[in-house]
Amino acid sequence: MGAKASELSRQPGQIVRGRIAQFERQQAAFNAKLNGMDQKFQAMDDIINGTSEYYDAATGTRYKLSSSGSRGATSGSLSATTATYGSTGSISADGRRRS
């Protein structure tokens, strides 16, 4: 097989690899846009529901803070999820633990 024939047989593979790479870049951009939209919807849900999230890097605990309650903004509750152990629990505004 000559040099010309060898070059011709490589071209289709290079074209296919180029198209695959282009498709993967488009897919990554699309996924990034979807993730951004998900974050915006989650933020809007949190606003509507009166919740916010706090992550304590020192303990690995995620807190879901709720400002809803019958006694105004000072009542509310605190819910914690520990990433290490996967445990969840709630603490009421007066400091008592709820399951």
Q: Which of 86, 82, 90, 79 is nearest to 53 (CA)?
A: 79
pLDDT at 30: 96
pLDDT at 46: 85
C-beta contacts of 84-91 below 8 A and 24+ residues apart: 84/60
Give me the tens of pLDDT residue by residue for the chain, a chain 99 residues long.
Answer: 567 777 778 888 999 999 999 999 999 999 999 999 998 998 888 888 888 888 889 998 988 888 765 444 444 455 555 444 444 555 555 555 555
Q: State whether residue 3 is helix, strand or coil.
A: helix
User: What are the domain boundaries of the chain?
Assistant: 1-49, 50-99
Name 90's Cβ contacts closer than 8 Å, sequence gap at least 6: 77, 78, 79, 80, 97, 98, 99
pLDDT at 37: 92
Q: What is the reported pTM?
A: 0.45
